[in-house]
Amino acid sequence: MMANGKMAGWVESLPRVRGRYAFDVDLSRTVWFRAGGHADVVFRPADVDDLAHFLATRPADVPVTVVGLGSNVLVRDGGVEGVVVRLRQGFRGMQVRWDGARALVEVGAGALDMNVARHCRDQGVGGLAFLSGIPGTIGGALRMNAGAYGHEMADVVVEAKALDGDGALHVLAPDAMGLSYRHSTVPEDWIFVSAALEGRREEPATIAEHMEEINAQREASQPIRARTGGSTFTNPAGRKAWELIDEAGCRGLVRGGARISEQHCNFIINADRASAADIEGLGEEVRRRVEEKTGVSLQWEIRRIGRHGRWPQDGGEDAA
């Protein structure tokens, strides 16, 4: 598929790669909110070397944005300028190495958190079942120090590898990643490509039971079958975001096609063909009401990317 006219100039300058470029890609077809605009270009690199080559030789003025599974991201209606990188097959490897009762799990950044949890269960690796409660990829989990059910990535990361904006590879120890609650200090233009996670020997049946408990808790407390982006706001120190939202009277609040979940009011749902502007606007209204009621300024956990305004074209290639 050829690039459209408005992109032709810089698209012609993109480097030759072994992976695949796709143009004018409708990201709403794959992000979990099922809302938002198109990416100018989506690049699926073949492997780490291919991605490094792209970063080293791309036009310096072309923005690069990484989108993983699309579970914790809101793509604005005007779409995403430049190149969206999506890590696929060449970044999903998993391998377990044992040192006595200690396991070192080497995983690609494109691996789904749930798949890593299942692989570890099957290999008898305990300590990583919490990943089954985090929708997304390992790369995204590293970027935001994702956590669930009493554990977070900072508890298990031994080492991470990332490419900087020029394609140079960096090997990062945990103390170099600046991991804190839903945050890391790794530069925004660096792209995680793999990680080594620490686990311990445990019976697969015990791990499976723990994963089933996590799934049951999620089913009971979260609207996991709805079109949503997961937790909308981070928890302020000493408080729960959902409690503050409830206190401000926002449970069930509606804006356009977007609604605050009645089941868990720190979730925004695309209830009826919501635009990204509906979703973001509803989130901002919740922030305003919570601050007015409680004095607390909620901070977005969902990553919002792209341009405001409506994408001018229909159609576009599927990002899957």
- Residues known to be catalytic: 182, 231, 301
Left if phi > 0, otherwise alpha if psi is -120 to 50, otherwise beta: which for 50? alpha
Q: 221: how many CB neighbours lie within 10 A of its CB?
A: 12
Which two three-digit tokens encode residue 286? 């919740």
**Strand ranges (DSSP E) for the chain?**
20-26, 38-44, 64-66, 73-75, 80-85, 94-99, 102-108, 125-126, 147-148, 151-152, 157-163, 169-172, 191-201, 228-231, 254-255, 258-260, 267-270, 303-305, 317-318
**Distance in angstroms (rounded) separating the CA atoms of residues 80 and 241:** 29
**Distance in angstroms (rounded) separating the CA atoms of residues 283 and 292:** 14
Tell the residue number behind the tokens 């635009």, with chain if given.
275
Distance of CA 13 to the CA centre of its chain: 29
* Burial class of 13 by CB neighbour count within 10 A (0 to 12, 13 to 18, 19+): exposed
